[in-house]
Amino acid sequence: MEKKNLDWENMGFSYIQTDKRYVANYKDGKWDDGALIDDPNIVMNECAGVLQYAQTVFEGMKAYTTEDGHIVTFRPDLNASRMVDSAKRLEMPPFPEDRFVDAVAQVVKANAAYVPPYGSGATLYIRPYMFGINPVIGVKPADEYQFRIFATPVGPYFKGGAKPITICVSDFDRAAPHGTGHIKAGLNYAMSLHAIVTAHANGFDENMYLDSATRTKVEETGGANFIFVTKDNKVVTPHSNTILPSITRRSIMYVAEHYLGLEVEERDVYFDEVKDFAECGLCGTAAVISPVGKIVNHGEEICFPSGMEKMGPVTQKLYDTLTGIQMGHIEAPEGWIKVIE
Ligand SMILES: *Cc1c(COP(=O)(O)O)cnc(C)c1O
């Protein structure tokens, strides 16, 4: 298969149309067989449930080329099960998990020419999503849904290495107790846009959200979970029912414990103790880990000893080990890497 002639090294993170996408429709209480199609556009009624009441959930994952030339995805079964949880919370019919994993493979195979070559740092980003598509004007769940997956090549998240970022404690809340913070729903992102635009206008890269009930505990950013490293090399991540369970963060905690022999803790993390940590990072599919160098809380600065030039040493080991597993240099735990071709 011949690769597309794209500038893999200098690609950004924006949508590039690829050849095929997967579509399945839910109607009369069941999902149809689904198929790969060519048309990237969706025609729907003006009153579609998704347009009026934001009934939509999504996932995000990557396919990439390993050193030995295979195209693989990372733990797609976890994306499939997380999307089931998201769908149920918004009263949508779950898309079967085995069909989800199979449809991801179909989309990657059909767009293999867009999977960036090994070593370019670029990847094929995969976006599964579903939404209510029939007209809904009285407030209730839609009766008909569409599940889709498209793929788009994206560049390396950090060009020229991962530089630590500066984040601020947000005055806005991300998730209410017993709300929807734990699911991957468009609605959580819609309401975070004002907060992130405000943070950027104030010169910060990201927001740190605190728990909205007490504003004393660390939750997450708009799209990534936190890990912290203590001065005696324990890896700590916030436990909360209102953060999105990041697959990257769960994988990093496993790697910390089982590959690096570090102590790990998932527990309440009070903002007051953040100043005592040695390292901080943000975990998500896009960047794997973004190091955080500084956190600003209304003018008060917390500067981590790891500084603003490079990742802290433990964060770097976690990053190297997890990306080594993903790229096939380090043996993966059973079931983590799904070879597509
Ligand atoms: C997607 C997402 C993450 C990261 O999850 P991964 O599975 O690691 O990509 C973290 N927080 C939020 C709010 C998210 O939507």
State whether the beta carbon of 280 lies less than 6 angstroms from ligand 1. Answer: no
Evaluate if pTM is beyond 0.95. Answer: yes
Ligand 1 pocket member 174 (CB < 6 A): no
- Atom 1 of ligand 1: nearest residue by CA position: 223
Query: For the chain, where are the alpha helices, taking DSSP H only?
Result: 49-53, 76-89, 97-110, 186-190, 193-201, 247-258, 271-274, 313-327
- Which of 180, 183, 184, 322, when mutated, tests ligand 1's pocket best, judged by the most ligand atoms within 8 Å of its CB? 184
Token representation of residue 222: 């708009």
CB-CB contact of 320 with 312 (8 Å):
no
Could you identify the atom of ligand 1 that is nearest to the CA of residue 248? 8
- pLDDT tens for the chain, 341 residues: list them: 789 999 998 898 899 999 999 999 999 999 999 999 999 999 999 999 999 999 999 999 999 999 999 999 999 999 999 999 999 999 999 999 999 999 999 999 999 999 999 989 899 999 999 999 999 999 999 999 999 999 999 987 776 668 999 999 999 999 999 999 999 999 999 999 999 999 999 999 999 999 999 999 999 999 999 999 999 999 999 999 999 999 999 999 999 999 999 999 999 999 999 999 999 999 999 889 999 999 999 999 999 999 999 999 999 999 999 999 999 999 999 999 999 99
Nearest residue (CA) to ligand 1, atom 13? 223
126 alpha carbon to ligand 1 midpoint, in Å?
14
* CB of 268 closer than 8 Å to CB of 239: yes
Q: How far apart are CA 221 and CA 288, in angstroms?
A: 14
β-sheet bridge partners, residue 135:
48
Decide if 163 is catalytic. no
Residue whose C-alpha is closest to residue 276's, from 209, 320, 230, 312: 230
